[in-house]
Structure 1
Amino acid sequence: MINEDLLDIVKVQETHSQNEVNNLLNQGWKLLNVYTGSFSYDASDQINMYVLGKPNDR
C-alpha cells in the first residue's frame, strides 16, 4: 500500500550530511528512509544515508 503523503513528493534527494538533512527538514522536506551505506568491506567505513522528499508546494 502506498502512503498518501508519498504521492505529493516532487523531488528526492539523498545525503549523508546531518546538517543538510536538518536544513531540508526545516524547509518542509520529509524524511523517507535511512539506511547504512558502505564503501568498502571494512565495517568502520559505514555511514548513514538519508533519503528525503520535497512535497509539492501547491
Structure 2
Amino acid sequence: MEISHDKKAAHKAEEVKGRVKKTAGAATGNRSLEAEGRADASQHLARRVGPGGIWVS
C-alpha cells in the first residue's frame, strides 16, 4: 500500500509542527505545549504503520 506524495508531505509537516511545539515548550518551560508537541509527533508515527503493523514509507 503506497501513500500519495500529498499525504506524505502532510504527515511530515505534522511531524515537524509537533517537534517545534515540543522544543518551544521545553525552551519556555511550558509543559503543556511540550506534551502537545509530543502527541502531535507521535500521531505522525502511528499513521506510518499500515494494516497488519507493516511500516509504510
Whether TM exceeds 0.5 here: the answer is no
Give the structure with the higher percent helix.
Answer: 2
Larger strand fraction of residues: 1
Higher relative contact order (CA 8 A, sep 6+): 1
TM-score computed with the length of structure 2 as normaliser: 0.25
